């Protein structure tokens, strides 16, 4: 049985207003010689409207009892549109009351028609559970018997029948809809016959491979609704993104009305961009962003400001949590005031932390982007973001977790040394002058479409000529040739005994999750890890950190997906290295450069975890290494690549060329997301001194998604602007020979990496001959 999460007492500290704390904080940072930039965003008043006519009186009374006498303008518009049967997407900031935009029309319809049904989709189980509490409160206030249930992997078997029969409103996630509801639609006849509304919350999370999968799940949902004679209205909600209408329309396969004029109030927000000071000017090394974020968060928490700190990875969450706890522990035995929050924590741990944040007993939390979503954690006074998260949309979502209504809040971005962070730190106006990014999905990606065609055929036979994506008919014939489907009497029938939905993961290219088991007299599961992360995080001898406790991986059973660990107390953590091998399969487009060429095409990529380093806590120096023995992984995807001809490489020795290419790959991978509007983690990079595929020195950028989702094409189209930005970053960096802010850290003091990269970029971007 898992240990209960610790409780956190409320500290006897009188809170200081965030605005006062911000003045002190900025003063301290400037005094230390760091580069700090500040902008104040003024308070914005609320804009109210009247409720749409005809709402049920019981619902209006319930809202009034909960302190909601009138809706904000965006709420009134969204409710009216939904009740009028229009598909609607509401795009307003965090804490602007988007939940009311769908709860009011749904409850109004159910109160007036007891046969009406609604389906709510949230990207995570945690968010569904959080919204269930809000919905129960409103239903209770209305005094109505409306069956409202969550349906997910934690729902007991004996309760599932009641949900299917009595659920007026069913809250679930896309994964459960995909594997447990659509394949068993005959058990959900009452839902599908009377489905009036489908709510899709956190629309902005449905991007990339996940969004492409979910778009196909919605295709399957609408197909089954049509079979049962229903045609639900879709209500979608999103944080701010550039293309909400386009994304929503692609996700549901239908036109939508966009409501993006926010009527909710917002308190003053103080935005700080902090670039930690350079500690080694010769090597261009800055103070660690983790330590800078720790110092800022510790100062805020000591001042009584409840603070959320975002870190870019699970490992960094645990490191920052460890450092912050040490900084705040005034004497041995003092209770901890901060908690961690990330994927891999068990559900009861996450719920306890969320509750502690709402109640104020947890004064600080260190989290991955798992807390970007609208889970109710109360009103933080400050948000500290460690490293630019890869997109403006994500940054503003993380900033938005601090501040409620008219309360002032503080948002701090702590830049790391990588080129993307340094670009933002040196161009802070970028945060306000550039619009937020759009979200890209490709529902017709052949890998994804084929998977969902199988699932859809299992659910209902396909009729000849029936539309399901751009290439549906062609792929149905391919599946017939493969023996998966049979064509007879004008229909395509599922032929295999396999259950296709179980073989398709919506989140990754793999369906496998590893469980992490603490060894002992009573072994217990302490967490889980997705397959792509497993080779890097839970290889044998890895130090796996969970809630600040270190564990060493004693054995990894790759076939059974289990990692066995034991608690340890060591002064280091592990960092695994991944070797990449890339080959070109097909070329699609080419464009000349001054001393080379850009190309776009399909590639095969092989990943192999090779060695791991032991990295000392606090100093981050290497203190040892070990080998990793895990099978390689393969992926076919899309890539854009830049080749360099003899005019570009003239005068450069092999070692100089190799270091220059690696430097270009480093800066290219980090800056390309600014121009192709994606997260840096969505792109991979590889440099080859003599590529077997091109016969020339080549740098590749590829989609980190099987089949690709269009990012490589964006890189190809923005190639000249990206190359110019890379050259500017290398030329403008203040280091001598290369550093994390330009071509990457260099082991040798007189490394030619920076000079070689600059020469190659200058020549390839020069005037075309």
If asked whether residues 599 and 524 sit together in one domain, one would say: no
Q: Is residue 12, in this structure, part of any structural domain at all?
A: no
What does the pLDDT read at residue 119?
98
Total domains in the fold of the chain: 5
Q: How many CB atoms lie within 10 A of CB 348?
A: 11
DSSP state letters, 441-510:
--TT-HHHHHHHHHHHHHHSPEETT---STTHHHHHHHHHHTTSEEEETTEEEE--SS-GGGG--SSSS-
What does the pLDDT read at residue 339?
92
Q: Write out pLDDT tens, residues 156-171.
A: 888 888 898 888 999 9
E-assigned strands of 311-440?
Answer: 338-341, 364-367, 382-386, 409-414
Q: Write out pLDDT tens, residues 377-426.
A: 777 889 999 998 877 888 888 998 888 667 789 999 999 887 778 878 88
Q: How many CA atoms lie within 13 A of 294 on its CB side?
A: 20
If asked whether residues 752 and 606 sit together in one domain, one would say: yes
Residues 507-525 have a mean pLDDT of 78
**CB burial string 114-141: b at 16+ within 10 A, e below:** eebbbbbbbbbbbbbbbbbeebeebbeb
What does the pLDDT read at residue 3?
45
More confident residue, 559 or 375: 559
- pTM for the predicted model, two decimal places: 0.77
Closest CA to 572 of 548, 543, 598: 543
Q: Write out pLDDT tens, residues 468-502.
A: 988 888 889 999 988 889 999 999 999 887 789 88
Closest CA to 241 of 440, 99, 74, 72: 440
If asked whether residues 674 and 566 sit together in one domain, one would say: no
H or E segment to which residue 636 belongs: strand 633-644
If asked whether residues 406 and 329 sit together in one domain, one would say: yes
What does the pLDDT read at residue 282?
63
Distance CA 85, CA 100 (A): 17
pLDDT at 706 over 90: no
Q: Among the three residues 381, 412, 433, which one is the final residue of a domain in this structure?
A: 433
- Quickly state the pLDDT bin for 284 (edges 50, 70, 90): low
Mention every residue, 6+ apart, whose C-beta is less than 8 A from residue 70.
48, 49, 50, 51
Lowest mean pLDDT among 145-159, 424-438, 526-540, 541-555: 424-438
CA distances from 411 to 19, 324, 353, 451, 510 (A): 11, 18, 21, 42, 36
State the DSSP code for 181: I
If asked whether residues 64 and 96 sit together in one domain, one would say: yes
Q: 363 near 8, Cβ under 8 Å?
A: yes
* Residue 536 region by backbone torsions, left for phi larger than 0, else alpha for psi between -120 and 50, else beta: alpha
Q: Is residue 8, in this structure, part of any structural domain at all?
A: no
Sign of CA dihedral 736, 738, 741, 742: positive
Q: Write out pLDDT tens, residues 714-753.
A: 899 999 999 999 999 899 887 778 876 788 877 677 889 9
CA distances from 476 to 384, 458, 473, 479 (A): 50, 13, 5, 5
Q: Which residues pair with 684 in a beta bridge?
A: 702
State the DSSP code for 531: G
Closest CA to 289 of 315, 325, 320: 320
Q: 618 near 738, Cβ under 8 Å?
A: no
Q: Is residue 302, in this structure, part of any structural domain at all?
A: yes
What does the pLDDT read at residue 757?
96
If asked whether residues 307 and 428 sit together in one domain, one would say: yes
Residues 555-559 have a mean pLDDT of 91
What does the pLDDT read at residue 114?
92
If asked whether residues 242 and 130 sit together in one domain, one would say: yes
Q: Write out pLDDT tens, residues 322-340.
A: 999 988 875 555 556 899 9
Q: Is residue 622, in this structure, part of any structural domain at all?
A: no
Q: Where are the alpha helices (DSSP H) in 612-767?
A: 646-649, 654-676, 711-717, 719-732, 753-765
Provide the angle, in degrees to the nearest 10, between the axes of the packed helices 73-83 and 98-112.
Answer: 40
pLDDT at 675 over 80: no
- Quickly state the pLDDT bin for 588 (edges 50, 70, 90): very high
Distance CA 100, CA 76 (A): 9
pLDDT at 10 over 70: no
Closest CA to 474 of 504, 494, 444: 444
If asked whether residues 196 and 302 sit together in one domain, one would say: no
Task: Give residue 333's Cα distance to chain centre.
Answer: 36
Q: Is residue 165, in this structure, part of any structural domain at all?
A: yes
Q: 403 near 169, Cβ under 8 Å?
A: no
Distance CA 435, CA 417 (A): 24
Q: Is residue 51, in this structure, part of any structural domain at all?
A: no
| Helix, strand, coil percent content, the chain, rounded in steps of 5 | 40, 25, 35
The rounded mean pLDDT for the chain is: 87
If asked whether residues 497 and 592 sit together in one domain, one would say: no
Q: In this structure, what CATH number is given to the domain that contains residue 373? A: 3.40.50.300
Q: Write out pLDDT tens, residues 394-404.
A: 888 899 888 86
E-assigned strands of 82-166?
Answer: 88-91, 117-121, 148-150
Lowest mean pLDDT among 372-381, 447-456, 512-521: 372-381
Q: Is residue 438, in this structure, part of any structural domain at all?
A: no
Q: Among the three residues 259, 290, 315, which one is the final residue of a domain in this structure?
A: 259
Give the 3-state secondary structure of residue 377: coil
CA distances from 764 to 281, 594, 733, 757 (A): 29, 5, 20, 11
Sign of CA dihedral 239, 245, 250, 255: positive
Question: Which range has highest mean pLDDT (79-93, 310-324, 345-359)?
Answer: 79-93
Q: 698 near 660, Cβ under 8 Å?
A: no
Question: What's the token pair of residue 439?
Answer: 């979200």
* Domain boundaries, position 23: 18-40+266-433
What does the pLDDT read at residue 768?
45
Task: Give residue 274's Cα distance to chain centre.
Answer: 23
If asked whether residues 607 and 747 sit together in one domain, one would say: yes
Q: 508 near 278, Cβ under 8 Å?
A: no
Q: Write out pLDDT tens, residues 158-216.
A: 888 889 888 899 999 999 999 999 999 999 999 999 999 999 999 988 887 788 899 99
State the DSSP code for 438: P
What does the pLDDT read at residue 473?
85
Q: Among the three residues 230, 259, 288, which one is the final residue of a domain in this structure?
A: 259
Q: Is residue 5, in this structure, part of any structural domain at all?
A: no
**CB burial string 276-298: b at 16+ within 10 A, e below:** bebeeeebbbbbbbbbbbbbbbb
If asked whether residues 470 and 529 sit together in one domain, one would say: no
Phi, psi of 644 (to 5 degrees): -115, 125
Q: 72 near 48, Cβ under 8 Å?
A: yes
If asked whether residues 289 and 253 sit together in one domain, one would say: no
What does the pLDDT read at residue 508?
56
Q: 490 near 506, Cβ under 8 Å?
A: no
What does the pLDDT read at residue 13?
47
Q: Write out pLDDT tens, residues 232-268.
A: 999 999 987 888 999 999 999 999 999 999 999 988 8
What does the pLDDT read at residue 422?
83
What does the pLDDT read at residue 331?
55
């Amino acid at each position: 049985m898992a240990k209960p999460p610790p409780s956190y007492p409320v500290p006897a500290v009188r809170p200081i207003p965030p605005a006062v704390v911000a003045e002190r904080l900025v003063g301290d940072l400037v005094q230390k010689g760091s580069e700090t930039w500040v902008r104040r965003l003024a308070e914005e008043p609320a804009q109210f409207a009247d409720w749409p006519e005809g709402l049920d009186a019981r619902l209006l009374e319930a809202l009034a009892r909960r302190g909601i006498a009138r809706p904000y303008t965006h709420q009134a518009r969204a409710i009216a549109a939904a009740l009028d049967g229009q598909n609607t997407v509401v795009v307003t900031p965090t804490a602007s009351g988007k939940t009311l935009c769908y709860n009011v029309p749904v409850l109004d319809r159910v109160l007036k028609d007891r046969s009406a049904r609604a389906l709510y989709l949230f990207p995570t189980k945690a968010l569904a559970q959080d919204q269930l509490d809000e919905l129960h409160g409103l239903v209770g206030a209305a005094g109505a018997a409306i069956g409202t249930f969550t349906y997910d992997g934690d729902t007991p078997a004996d309760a599932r029948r009641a949900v299917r029969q009595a659920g007026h409103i069913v809250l679930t996630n896309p994964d459960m809809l995909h594997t447990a509801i659509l394949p068993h639609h005959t058990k959900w006849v009452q839902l599908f016959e009377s489905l009036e509304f489908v709510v899709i919350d956190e629309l902005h999370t449905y991007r990339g491979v996940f969004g492409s999968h979910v778009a196909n799940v919605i295709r399957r949902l609408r197909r089954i609704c049509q079979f049962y004679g229903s045609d639900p209205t879709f209500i979608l909600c999103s944080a701010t993104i550039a293309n909400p209408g386009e994304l929503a329309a692609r996700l549901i396969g239908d036109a939508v009305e966009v409501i993006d004029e926010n009527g909710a109030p917002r308190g003053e927000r103080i935005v700080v961009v902090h670039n930690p000071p350079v500690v080694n000017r010769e090597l261009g090394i800055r103070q660690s962003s983790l330590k800078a974020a720790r110092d800022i968060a510790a100062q805020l928490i000591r001042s009584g400001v409840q603070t959320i700190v975002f870190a870019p990875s699970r490992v960094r969450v645990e490191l920052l949590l460890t450092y912050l706890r040490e900084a705040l522990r005034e004497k041995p035995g003092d209770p901890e005031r901060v908690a961690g929050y990330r994927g891999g924590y068990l559900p009861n741990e996450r719920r306890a932390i969320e509750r502690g944040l709402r109640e104020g007993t947890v004064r600080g939390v260190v989290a991955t982007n798992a807390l970007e979503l609208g889970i109710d954690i109360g009103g933080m006074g400050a948000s500290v973001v460690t490293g630019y998260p890869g997109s403006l949309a994500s940054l503003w979502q993380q900033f938005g977790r601090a501040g409620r209504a008219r309360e002032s809040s503080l948002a701090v971005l702590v830049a790391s040394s990588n080129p993307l962070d340094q670009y933002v730190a040196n161009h802070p106006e970028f945060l306000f002058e550039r619009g937020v990014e759009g979200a890209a999905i490709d529902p017709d990606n052949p890998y994804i479409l084929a998977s969902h065609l199988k699932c859809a055929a299992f659910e209902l036979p396909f009729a000849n000529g029936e539309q399901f994506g751009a290439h549906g008919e062609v792929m149905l014939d391919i599946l017939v040739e493969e023996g998966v489907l049979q064509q007879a009497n004008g229909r395509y029938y599922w032929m295999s005994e396999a259950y296709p939905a179980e073989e398709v993961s919506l989140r990754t290219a793999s369906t496998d999750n590893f469980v992490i088991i603490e060894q002992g007299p009573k072994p217990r599961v302490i967490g889980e890890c997705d397959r792509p992360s497993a080779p890097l995080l839970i290889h044998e001898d890895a130090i796996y950190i969970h809630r600040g406790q270190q564990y060493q991986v004693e054995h990894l059973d790759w076939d059974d997906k289990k990692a066995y660990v034991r608690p340890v107390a060591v002064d280091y953590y592990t960092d695994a290295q991944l070797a990449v091998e890339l080959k070109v399969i097909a070329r699609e487009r080419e464009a000349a450069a001054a001393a080379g060429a850009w190309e776009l095409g399909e590639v095969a990529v092989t990943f192999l975890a090779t060695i791991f380093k032991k990295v000392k806590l606090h100093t981050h120096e290497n203190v040892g290494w070990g080998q990793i023995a895990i099978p390689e992984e393969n992926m076919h995807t899309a890539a854009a690549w830049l080749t360099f001809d003899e005019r570009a490489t003239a005068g450069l020795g092999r070692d100089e060329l190799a270091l220059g290419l690696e430097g270009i790959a480093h800066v290219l991978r980090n800056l390309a997301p600014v121009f192709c509007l994606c997260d840096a983690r969505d792109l991979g990079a590889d440099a080859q001194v003599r590529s077997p595929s091109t016969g020339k020195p080549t740098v590749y950028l590829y989609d980190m998604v099987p089949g690709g989702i269009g990012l490589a094409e964006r890189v190809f189209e923005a190639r000249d602007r990206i190359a110019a930005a890379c050259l500017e970053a290398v030329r403008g960096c203040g280091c001598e020979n290369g550093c994390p802010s330009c071509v990457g850290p260099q082991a040798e003091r007189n490394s030619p990496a920076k000079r070689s990269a600059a020469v190659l970029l200058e020549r390839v971007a020069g005037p075309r001959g």
